[in-house]
Amino acid sequence: FEACLKKRRDWPEAEINLGIAYWKFGDFETAEDHLNRGLAAQPSSLPGLRALTQIAIDNKNVSRARELHQKLTSANDRTPELAYN
C-alpha cells in the first residue's frame, strides 16, 4: 500500500488499507494517522471506521470508541463484531 501511495498520494483506499496493516502489526499511532487521512477523503469507509474503533478499544479510549461506534451504527453497520466489542 505504501507503493500505491507513492504512485498516487490521494488514494483513500490505500491509506485505509495501510492503516489497517499498521494496526495489525501493533503500530497504533501510524495506523491512526493513515486511517484518519483515508477517512478524511472517504468518511463512510466501514473498514476504516471499524479499525479506528478497534484501536480505540485496544487503547481503552472509551469515549472515542463510543463516538466511532455511533458512526458505524449510523452507517447501518450490523456486524457481530460491532455488537460484541
Give the predicted TM-score (pTM) of the model: 0.84
Helix spans in the chain (H)? 2-7, 12-24, 28-41, 46-58, 62-74, 80-84
The DSSP letter of residue 61 is -
The answer to whether 19 and 38 have CB atoms below 8 angstroms apart is yes
How far apart are alpha carbons 72 and 65 in whole angstroms? 10
Count of residues in the chain: 85
Convert the pLDDT of each residue in 7-56 to its tens digit: 998 899 999 999 999 999 999 999 999 999 999 999 989 999 999 999 99
The DSSP letter of residue 9 is S
